[in-house]
Amino acid sequence: MHEVCRGVGLPINAMKALLTLDRQPPASMRELADHFGADASYCTVLVDSLEAQGVARREPHPTDRRVRSVVLTPKGRKLLARARVLLEAPPEGFVALTVADQRRLRDLLLKVAAADPALSAGDALGPSVA
């Protein structure tokens, strides 16, 4: 994740936010705070930073004028697409694994994830990126 963040020029907290914001309907500021287990002031600073970088913006909520939603800008979507390409590239060490080794590793990781409620449970914003 740190290499990907360096590759796209964003700090890790901003990258996690972009991954979280890529959803419909858009997340509210409160949903972001709840998702990150943070207080509202942290999310305000985070979203201020995203807006300053031109990757996200606040918009009025469609049904509640007291609420602000956070959406990705076209620049944010483009940057996130680039980050996903980097995130999906396997680490170099995987070339040492045969196809059978890779399948066994996948199966073992799925088994670990299924046995750990923290890994298998999602929330309203989807799985957390750690």
**Mean pLDDT, to the nearest integer, of 90-114?**
91
Give the pLDDT confidence score for residue 129 in this predicted structure: 41
Give pLDDT, residue 130: 37
Q: What is the DSSP letter of 97?
A: S
pTM over 0.85: no
Residue 56 in 3-state DSSP? strand
Task: Say if residue 60's pLDDT is above 60.
Answer: yes
Q: How many angstroms separate the CA atoms of 77 and 55, rounded?
A: 7
- Band the pLDDT of 124: cuts 50, 70, 90: very low
Q: Within 10 A of 64 (CB to CB), how many other CB atoms are there?
A: 10
The 10 Å Cβ neighbour count of residue 105 is: 12
Residue 62: pLDDT over 70? yes
1-55 pLDDT, tens per residue? 888 999 899 999 999 999 989 988 888 888 999 988 999 899 999 999 999 999 9
* Rounded Cα distance, 107 and 99, in Å: 12
pLDDT digits (tens, 9 = 90+) for 107-116: 999 999 999 8
